[in-house]
Amino acid sequence: AGFRRYSFVVKESSYKKLCETKNILTVNGKFPGPTIEVHKGETIVVDVYNKGKYNISIHWHGVKQPRNPWTDGPEYITQCPIKPGNKFSQKVIFSDEVGTLWWHAHSDWSRATVHGAIIIYPMPGTSYPFPKPQADVPIIIGEWWKEDILKVLDEFVGSGGQPKDSDAYTINGKPGNLYPCSKRDTFKLKVKQGNTYLLRIINAALNEIHFFGVAKHNLTVVGVDASYTKPLTRDYIVISPGQTMDCLLQANQEPGSYYMAATAYVNGIGISFDNTTTTAILKYKRYFGQSTPTSLPTFPSYNDTSAATNFSFSLRSLNSRLYPISVPSKITKRIISTVSVNVFPCLKYQTCEGPNGTRLAASMNNISFVNPSIDILEAYFYQVNGVFGKSFPSFPPLVFNYTADVIPLELEIPTKGTQVKVIEFNSVMEVVFQGTNQVAGLDHPMHLHGFSFYVVGWGFGNFDEAKDPLDYNLIDPQRRSTIIVPKNGWVAIRFKADNPGVWFLHCHYERHLTWGMETVFIVNSGKLRTERVIPPPPDMPPC
């Protein structure tokens, strides 16, 4: 059929940043990669050519792909990776998403440089629930490593400890003038006084949540993860890897030159991170003064969990007459899952740079996920046995105070496995992510493929099944596909399992994903033809 086609050629390209030149993996030679622009409800086809040296796969983050898990992208979950020299034509089916999403590599750590924005405009002839902005501006927060990213990954996996920090954060691929040799490598936005700009902010960083803001200007959040929100005006935002945020910026200050900036929010003992600041410059038209701004936007301290959490949970769905939502008030099933950083004991031949000579690991309900050798979707569809098990537990392994200071040793060492949760079509699911204080309490940006979910509740400490659900917001909870589980706290989400397929659920911190903080939801097909997974495309990459 006549779908609009994009061509994505994955290949190496040479870039010079922070005074050094290196090759990075790109799409069409661009960093960040090309922007996809669609209208709500459209379907497109992206022809992905792997002209690089290694296997790759591409994921359309936050796009539900109704009944079409085949081209969702995570390697060994819904497909085997695309081998060098091969091509995979990926259909991307947009349904109710509107706002901003993004695409990224979903194999090893290539997403550090292989990513780009997806802009989803309202359907032709319809409008935004806010005054139309004069321009759309994608703002991608990313990172730059002087070292090759696959080498960073290898060293990280080899060491058993923490990964190396990036050498700079970036805005639209540019570190900004506070870094060496980067005066020209600074993103600049020219604005006209009186105009309004829609910043389509994406956090593509691998391992850190960020604060972002513009000096002397407010940001009004109007959407998150491609769902509208009630307008929320703040002088900074908090955005985790995987999340997107649509913010209106009014150029309503004295004509001048102002900094936009992003810094990390990290709160965990012994977690190192890049504590630098990336800048971009907002410059008013017809301002002829000093072009380098003087002051940075002000952010909370890097470990201010209450500021970060307060921001994240102040967001609400728009839920207006024209843009109603329907939050499930009754559930079929509640799953409670711990999200923990753990350790594995050290074996003789290993390097063990984790705490007390261990190797760091991570888990959900104490299962540390292991990628299978052929993808789970094909194994499920063709009923190949022995690829995955169906015993992901619905509850944590033992009832315990997960956020206490001392945690029993039996919870420190998780079980390795490829366990999925099978869910009946159309059941109404609640998933409670329970953070723990094992090894290091930390925030976790949890992301579910194939769905948007309502964030109905959250709290610090341990989830109390008898009490906490009584306080849920079932009126206007924010609708997202990535939510930050606060350090030593919990978050409850709800969604209707109306999208049959195989859907990845994981922490969007790349190091936690590598350590095993993930599982898979298999949503069975319903009885009707329109409730089944569609047939696979003819060119699925062979395993």
Residues 6+ apart with CB under 8 A from 216: 253, 258, 295, 297
* Rounded Cα gap, residues 185 and 176, in angstroms: 6
Q: In the window 112-151, what residues touch Cu ion (CB under 5 A)?
A: none
Smallest gap from Cβ 73 to ligand C2O, in A, equals 8
507 binds Cu ion (CB under 5 A): yes
* Rounded Cα gap, residues 531 and 515, in angstroms: 34
Q: In the window 247-286, what residues touch ligand C2O (CB under 6 A)?
A: none
Of the candidate spans 37-45, 136-144, 278-286, 504-512, the one that interacts with ligand C2O by CB under 6 A turns out to be 504-512
Smallest gap from Cβ 515 to Cu ion, in A, equals 8
Residue placing its CB nearer to Cu ion in the complex, 174 or 506? 506
* Rounded Cα gap, residues 56 and 54, in angstroms: 6
Q: Cβ-count burial of 187 within 10 angstroms (0-12 exposed, 13-18 middle, 19+ buried)?
A: buried
512 binds ligand C2O (CB under 6 A): no
Burial 275-285 (b: 16+ CB within 10 A, else e): ebbbbbbbbbe
* Rounded Cα gap, residues 397 and 406, in angstroms: 17
Residue placing its CB nearer to ligand C2O in the complex, 447 or 480? 447
Residue placing its CB nearer to ligand C2O in the complex, 57 or 488? 57
* Rounded Cα gap, residues 448 and 441, in angstroms: 21
Residue 509 contact partner, candidates Cu ion, ligand C2O, none, CB within 5 to 8 A by sort of partner: Cu ion
Smallest gap from Cβ 249 to ligand C2O, in A, equals 25
Smallest gap from Cβ 112 to Cu ion, in A, equals 17
* Rounded Cα gap, residues 295 and 484, in angstroms: 29
Do strands 43-50 and 87-93 pair parallel, antiparallel, or not at all (unpaired)?
A: antiparallel
509 binds Cu ion (CB under 5 A): yes
Sign of CA dihedral 69, 483, 396, 360: positive
Residue placing its CB nearer to ligand C2O in the complex, 59 or 512? 59
Residue placing its CB nearer to ligand C2O in the complex, 242 or 477? 242
Smallest gap from Cβ 220 to Cu ion, in A, equals 29
* Rounded Cα gap, residues 458 and 432, in angstroms: 9
Residue 61 contact partner, candidates Cu ion, ligand C2O, none, CB within 5 to 8 A by sort of partner: ligand C2O
Q: Which tokens hold the place of 353?
A: 């740079």
* Rounded Cα gap, residues 40 and 467, in angstroms: 39
The count of chain residues that interact with ligand C2O, using the rule CB under 6 A, is: 11
Residue placing its CB nearer to ligand C2O in the complex, 63 or 439? 63
Alpha carbons within 13 A on the beta-carbon side of 317: 24
Angle at 460 between CA 163 and CA 361, to 5 degrees: 25
Select from 74, 142, 176, 450 the one that contacts ligand C2O (CB under 6 A).
74
104 binds ligand C2O (CB under 6 A): yes
Of the candidate spans 37-45, 136-144, 426-434, 517-525, the one that interacts with Cu ion by CB under 5 A turns out to be 517-525
* Rounded Cα gap, residues 47 and 26, in angstroms: 15
Smallest gap from Cβ 446 to ligand C2O, in A, equals 10
Smallest gap from Cβ 134 to ligand C2O, in A, equals 30
Cβ proximity of 435 and 444 under 8 Å = yes
444 binds Cu ion (CB under 5 A): yes
Residue 93 contact partner, candidates ligand C2O, Cu ion, none, CB within 5 to 8 A by sort of partner: none
Select from 25, 26, 50, 61 the one that contacts ligand C2O (CB under 6 A).
61
Residue placing its CB nearer to Cu ion in the complex, 444 or 449? 444
Residue 507 contact partner, candidates ligand C2O, Cu ion, none, CB within 5 to 8 A by sort of partner: Cu ion
Q: Given strand 257-265, what is the order of strands in its sheet?
A: 187-191, 278-284, 257-265, 209-214, 237-239
447 binds ligand C2O (CB under 6 A): yes
449 binds ligand C2O (CB under 6 A): yes
DSSP state of 121: E
Beta-bridge mates of residue 136: 198
494 binds ligand C2O (CB under 6 A): no
3-state secondary structure of 174: strand
Q: In the window 218-247, what residues touch Cu ion (CB under 5 A)?
A: none
504 binds ligand C2O (CB under 6 A): yes
106 binds ligand C2O (CB under 6 A): yes
* Rounded Cα gap, residues 33 and 46, in angstroms: 13
Residue placing its CB nearer to ligand C2O in the complex, 167 or 510? 510
Sign of CA dihedral 11, 15, 18, 19: positive
Smallest gap from Cβ 446 to Cu ion, in A, equals 7
Cβ proximity of 70 and 537 under 8 Å = yes
Smallest gap from Cβ 339 to Cu ion, in A, equals 6
Smallest gap from Cβ 166 to ligand C2O, in A, equals 18
Select from 242, 396, 500, 501 the one that contacts ligand C2O (CB under 6 A).
242
Residue placing its CB nearer to ligand C2O in the complex, 316 or 447? 447
Cβ proximity of 198 and 187 under 8 Å = no
* Rounded Cα gap, residues 427 and 3, in angstroms: 32
Of the candidate spans 147-155, 270-278, 325-333, 510-518, the one that interacts with Cu ion by CB under 5 A turns out to be 510-518
Q: Cβ-count burial of 184 within 10 angstroms (0-12 exposed, 13-18 middle, 19+ buried)?
A: exposed
| Residues found near Cu ion in the complex (CB under 5 A) | 444, 507, 509, 512, 517
Q: Which residues bind ligand C2O (CB under 6 A)?
A: 59, 61, 74, 104, 106, 242, 447, 449, 504, 506, 508
